[in-house]
Amino acid sequence: MSEKAFDPRMLEALVCPVTQGGLDYDIDHQELVSKTAGLAFPIRAGIPVMLVDEARELKG
């Protein structure tokens, strides 16, 4: 079973739900990172989960 890949072109339309700022794609961790908010949003089966409750807090 292969996982569907995230299409980086989606970054043109997506913004952080907290800051409304831009996101960076972390391909190694399969996350969209908002450095301003200090959050990383998971990508599951190629679909970004843009819920604050599902986000991981960035350290440091």
The domains of the chain, with CATH numbers, are 8-51 (2.20.25.10)
Query: Which residues are within 8 A (CB) of 40 and not within 5 positions of it... i.e. 6 or more apart?
Result: 26, 29, 31, 32, 33, 34, 55, 56, 57, 58
pLDDT at position 20: 98
* Between 20 and 60, the higher pLDDT residue: 20
Distance CA(53)–CA(22), nearest Å, equals 19
Burial status of residue 5 (CB atoms within 10 A of its CB: 0-12, 13-18, 19 or more):
exposed
Tell me the mean pLDDT in the region 48-57: 98
Q: What is the pLDDT of residues 1-52, one digit of tens each?
A: 446 889 999 999 999 999 999 999 999 999 999 999 999 999 999 999 999 9
CB 35 within 8 A of CB 26: no
**Structure letter (DSSP) for residue 25:** E
